[in-house]
Structure 1
Amino acid sequence: MPASDLDLLIGVAREAGDVARSFVGGPLDIRHKDDDAGPVTAADYAVNRLLEDRLRSARPDYGWLSEESPDSTDRLGSEYVFIVDPIDGTRSFIDGQDTWAHSLAIVRDGKPVAAAVFLPLLDRLYTAELGGGAALNGDAIRASGTTDLNAARVLAARPTLDEHHWSGAVPPLQRSHRPSLAYRMSLVAQGRFDMMLTFRPSWEWDIAAGALILQEAGAIATDKAGRPLRFNNRHPQTNGVVAGNAALHRAVLDRLA
């Protein structure tokens, strides 16, 4: 058994990468979820089976929340909970792109304590442990020190810059996009971008791992009202995400409508 929860997540994330890669270029059996919740593939389900088997076998007393598993209120009574997205960025996976990720987190009493975000086709493994810093492939990472909102490089979907979200003029942000929320958060933690924004309700499995990686890299991640992100909620969604260093985070909150 791995010596630590983080070691467990790292080992299983790499196994998940092997499973997902085995589907690349082959039949995916693409289906569409109810309520326009997006596509799901045979790869999503295969990775989910692996994650649940490996993680729950290693920590049978931990609760479970996954995008591809039926939810159960049993997790609400657990001190520790796995919160995972087998493939974050399924559309990217279907399209043959490489910016999809496995997002794995362990949450204790609502707060992430260990996290791994792995992009198998790019061989990028972002990790964090509460109080232990954040890393990319074992090397420490740190969020950027940019303080000028007008010069900030931001990861966000195009509708985030719609006027109705902002009080006054929309800031002239340098916007880019990546399909995986977990990857967006990790890129900000790495300092390659200064902020990430999403104003849509965000599922916990997309952001739990990234939230800890950001925190341990010296950034702040809250919902769009500035409230702390807490996880393992009865309804596992947050009110969007605003993430970046303290100066930019405050500047965005001050400008939101």
Structure 2
Amino acid sequence: MSDAELAAHLAEVTGRLLIEVRSSGVLSLGALGKAGDATANQFLCHALREQRPQDALLSEEEKDNLDRLSASRCWIVDPVDGTREYGEARTDWAVHVALAVNGVPTDGAVALPGQGIVLRSDQPLAVPPAPDRLRMVVSRTRPAPEAKAVAERLEAELVPMGSAGAKAMAVILGQADFYLHTGGQYEWDSCAPAAVALAHGLHVSRIDGSPLVYNQADTYMPDLLICRKAHADLVLALVAECGVTGQAKP
């Protein structure tokens, strides 16, 4: 099984496990997120250590082992991206499984279990053409003023959405045209979405145009932009004009 096939398989199976945990009906909303995180993380970490024992691993739900910094290959996973949305039985949550090689997100998959979809780096889809009025995905609970300012300059429609993975995949699925994030994330929030978006021919970068680099000692990532390549220069220029910067590490 190739790295991309493994990522897709594990993301899909993890999504099914999470649906089963949620449908059990024995957990309160507060406990459901913790149970889902723990179950998904245990499966993913055991499976990756079994299938790729020589590779490093970074997970949101595991204590970080900095031995990974000496490894050229590091799997980066987010067992439940969008825990709130998962607990509320929404569809805008995701499972992220990705491999970074020498800091580059090379292979990955993002499962959207609530939608029955797995988007993967080895099976790119045709990205639908952009509509006349562009759309920007933003947080459904705390949309960043900086992103809203850029959207206003573009006269773009705001599309509220949950998890980072769901937002990034919305660009591939033709549900949105930009994902501009300035509120700060961690490597597991964007590695799999970045790998999948790159494989689909999209532009993926920091908001200053520099590449996203993974498997770093400090896993905090202040900002990112995912969009069609045809729109990248315009959005990056507007970001600079508006003086937008990524959020400093809290």
TM range, normalised to the smaller chain?
A: 0.7 to 0.9
Q: 1:233, CA displacement in angstroms?
A: 1.1
1:23 maps to a residue whose letter is V
2:109 pairs with 102, 106, 116, which one?
116
Find the counterpart in structure 1 of residue 186 from structure 2.
203
| SS at structure 1 position matched to 2:114 | coil
What amino acid is the match of 2:173? Q
In structure 1, the partner of 2:44 is 51
Identity of aligned residues (%): 26
Contact 1:190 1:217 in 2 (8 A): no
CA displacement, residues 104-134 of structure 1 (integer Å, 9 cap, x when unaligned)? 10110001111111122211010004xxx62
Aligned-pair CA distance for 1:185: 0.9
Shift of the 244–60 alpha-carbon distance from structure 1 to 2, 3 Å rule, reads same
**Alpha-carbon distance between aligned partners in 2 of 1:11 and 1:221, rounded to the nearest angstrom:** 24
The Cα of 1:221 is off from its aligned counterpart by 1.1
TM-score calculated relative to the size of structure 1: 0.84
Higher mean alpha-carbon deviation, 172-181 vs 152-161, is at: 152-161
Contact persistence 1:63–1:75 (CA under 8 A): yes
Return the structure number with greater helix share. Answer: 2
What does residue 35 of structure 1 align with? Answer: none
Give the counterpart letter for 1:83 in structure 2: I
- Which of 49, 69, 81 aligns to 2:62? It is 69
Matches of 1:202 and 1:248, distance apart in 2:
23
| Contact preservation (8 Å) 2:146, 2:182 | no
- Superposed, 1:11-90 pairs within 5 Å as 11-24=9-22, 25-27=25-27, 30=30, 40-90=33-83
Q: 2:127 corresponds to which residue?
A: 142
| Count of residue pairs brought into register by the alignment | 237
Report 1:80-229 matches (<5 A): 80-129=73-122, 134=124, 140-142=125-127, 144-145=129-130, 151-157=133-139, 162=145, 166=149, 170-229=153-212
Contact 2:77 2:188 in 1 (8 A): yes
Q: Distance between the aligned counterparts of 1:184 and 1:163, measured in 2?
A: 17
What SS does the corresponding residue of 1:193 show, helix, strand or coil? coil
Aligned with 1:249 (options 224, 228, 232): 232
Deviation at 1:227, TM superposition (A): 1.2
Distance 1:78 1:163, change over 3 A: closer
5+ residue gaps, structure 1, are 32-38, 135-139
Is the contact between residue 29 and residue 42 of structure 1 (CA under 8 Å) also seen in structure 2?
no
Of the candidates 7, 10, 13, which is equivalent to residue 9 of structure 1?
7
- Residues 1:98 and 1:164: Cα distance change in structure 2 (over 3 Å): closer
Assess, with a 3 A threshold, how the Cα gap between structure 1 residues 111 and 96 changes in structure 2: closer, same or farther: same
Seen in structure 2, the aligned counterparts of structure 1 residues 215 and 164 have a Cα distance that, compared at 3 Å, is closer
Where do 4+ consecutive residues of structure 1 move more than 4 Å? 158-161, 163-167
Q: Secondary structure at the match of 2:168?
A: helix
Question: In angstroms, what is the RMSD of aligned CA positions?
Answer: 2.4
Is the 8 Å Cα contact of residues 166 and 255 (structure 1) preserved in structure 2? Answer: no
2:147–2:181 contact (8 Å) kept in structure 1: no
**Cα deviation code 1:199-249 (max 9, x no counterpart):** 111211111111121112121011122211111111112221111122322
